[in-house]
Structure 1
């Protein structure tokens, strides 16, 4: 009788705790009720995760106010681990995060290789094409699950995708399509495209050009910003002259390093909206997103780090939460089984975007809506209404299955 009373009190306490966690961390924790209330025997399961960050040592021209925080991305992964451990302790699942960072690719790779020799875990990668290629070519990572959290390069989704490489960061093509759909919905069909000189600027501009062709708009002129002047003093003279062209509906800017894009709004030759990397932007996350319960995530992050959650933070959080969800559902930490579950039709992730997120089996890209934001507000979210797809409208963003030339191993 007394044992029964103790069990009843314990069960009631657990139910109360789960209700609290559901409010704090989302409805996904309800899954734990079945495990915990059934009294199933659970074994301790440790899941090591390494956040691999290539720290930039480049001198950036932009003002310091526009620079990313030093813990950008890392903070999101840390919050993801904290959220996962909050719910995982009921299943005796413990997630442990190690941050590996360096400015030099060789030194970073050496540290990752050493970590992999001591841990059977997953990698969340925040690095360049060079480092990502090195990771995929290293024998030590052959059986490792790798989640790319920040690299937007389309080649990893179109021609160089491979098994056990997943992406929580939207690609350039996804961002370009998200913006292109919105411009079409507004009937802004004539674009003036302005791009910077970096490789990332060219990749972003190519994505906008692809979107223009895809949706039938007209790029009336394409210009490259080559000036090195201090625009804080000369923007009202330089920008109007530079943006002279035939009539256009919108200025589309590709300036990934914030060298000139902030000075285009309100200074263009024609009084037109500015979109792209500045003005109205397509992003994976923004501090203004508060719908779909996102305010809970935003507040938890701000309380922990005294700043807003940025795109890299969110993508790092997504990577850890995807891993945790797969561990919760499968009850294992084997990378092969986790990967198989993540790209299966059974996987879905609630991530404060109003839709369940899933991975594309043909290139490992996480399907997700793409918010369109300005400085202080969420303006819209793509896919836009009316853009249809035979499977899901989320696949109207980025490279669809027929457009991908690489082969993914899905078994």
Structure 2
């Protein structure tokens, strides 16, 4: 009993030792192209708002333990030198949320100043960051594009909507999503019967009932029409205007995403309320990626009593980690490429359709590994695996 009491006092003293947790949100701003509709403008604080909410939340617990959290936001203009800004900022913080393109993230991860840092990808779904171009100091809370497309195909397969057609936008992000949809369709036994490239460069707001039916009239017969429009340019005009009355899915219609304001179960309604009170808008997927990254840091600091990047990394890659992400599953990081395992919400404009992985899609380790790049497919070696 005496030994236990002494240990408890020692633990209490250690827990109350002051720990400074300096978190940097590093964003490379993007010059966004014009789109056909202004209904859904991109918020200026996209992503940042999620990090700010999470810091407020973890700081509440941290105060009782002597853990002092501070968030610094550094936003680099599109024409700015992002790598130089990162090099300087890493001298002040070694826990960094990255909101940038894949090339930018790799450039930062490879800096000598980042060798001992812990970085979080909160914005890019590019598969190569989890595969051949993975970095040991870069974890991913942003949802992988392949996980989104896999989730959608699980839903379509479960509904037995197996014949697909697809419209593909011209932007690189559209092309990448289309490639992921093709791969996932083959993976889950669905067939894309035909495709068309989106070629309109006119204002469709007054002519959708004329143009879209003609555009989709020659597509092969299909159960679902896929839309690859990741820049939110034209997808909103496709649904309910197609020649054949078919469901629309992909970038519009039935959408696979990490987060949406329509998610309300599993305690999510309370998170949504806190976010809306703070920002005056709904929580988007990128906000969620930043929020869960900070919550993961908070979990690591609480459990280890340390803000050292190496200590936190080891904790987050521990298979025993169980993060509460308000999505009905315990979340964890894949220890072979740093991707956060998380279920994928398949939603429409006003409701949650379902959450993937769906029952019946089994995996020998974790059902969430049926979504996205699985260990046997990965060529990532930075985490100690073999290609």
Give the TM-score range, shorter chain. over 0.9
User: Residues 305-346 of structure 1: CA distance to partner in whole angstroms, max 9, x if unpaired?
Assistant: 111111111111011001110111111111111111111113
Task: Please give the residue correspondences for 1:80-91 in structure 2 after superposition, counting only pairs within 5 Å.
Answer: 80-91=54-65
Alpha-carbon offset, residue 60 of structure 1: 2.0
Alpha-carbon offset, residue 110 of structure 1: 2.2
Q: Quick one: distance in 1 between partners of 2:383 and 2:261?
A: 36
Alpha-carbon offset, residue 94 of structure 1: 1.2
Q: Report the TM-score, using the length of structure 2 for normalisation.
A: 0.94
Instruction: Give 2:254's match in structure 1, choosing from 280, 285, 309.
Output: 280
Alpha-carbon offset, residue 113 of structure 1: 1.5
Does 2:288 align with 1:314? yes
Could you list the runs of 5+ residues in structure 2 that have no partner in the other structure? Answer: 1-6
Could you list the runs of 5+ residues in structure 1 that have no partner in the other structure? Answer: 1-33
Counterpart of 1:19 in structure 2 is none
More helix per residue: 1
Q: Quick one: distance in 2 between partners of 1:384 and 1:318?
A: 23
Alpha-carbon offset, residue 35 of structure 1: 8.1
Alpha-carbon offset, residue 410 of structure 1: 5.3
User: Residues 80-125 of structure 1: CA distance to partner in whole angstroms, max 9, x if unpaired?
Assistant: 10001011111111111111112236433222211212x2421101
Q: Quick one: distance in 2 between partners of 1:145 and 1:391?
A: 26
Task: Please give the residue correspondences for 1:12-411 in structure 2 after superposition, counting only pairs within 5 Å.
Answer: 39-41=12-14, 42-104=16-78, 106-117=80-91, 119-244=92-217, 245-409=219-383
Distance 1:93 1:242, change over 3 A: same
Aligned length: 377
Alpha-carbon offset, residue 273 of structure 1: 0.2
Of 154-163 and 204-213, more deviation after overlay is shown by 154-163
Counterpart of 1:24 in structure 2 is none
Kept in 1: contact 2:36–2:203 (CA 8 A) = no
Q: Report the TM-score, using the length of structure 1 for normalisation.
A: 0.89
User: Residues 328-386 of structure 1: CA distance to partner in whole angstroms, max 9, x if unpaired?
Assistant: 11111111111111111132200100110000111111001101111111110100111
User: Residues 122-176 of structure 1: CA distance to partner in whole angstroms, max 9, x if unpaired?
Assistant: 1101111221121122111111101001101011112211212111111110000
- Which secondary structure state, in structure 1, belongs to the residue aligned with residue 340 of structure 2? coil
RMSD: 1.7
- Which secondary structure state, in structure 2, belongs to the residue aligned with residue 85 of structure 1? helix
Distance 1:187 1:61, change over 3 A: same
- Which secondary structure state, in structure 1, belongs to the residue aligned with residue 206 of structure 2? helix
Alpha-carbon offset, residue 39 of structure 1: 4.2
Alpha-carbon offset, residue 177 of structure 1: 0.2
Kept in 2: contact 1:195–1:254 (CA 8 A) = yes
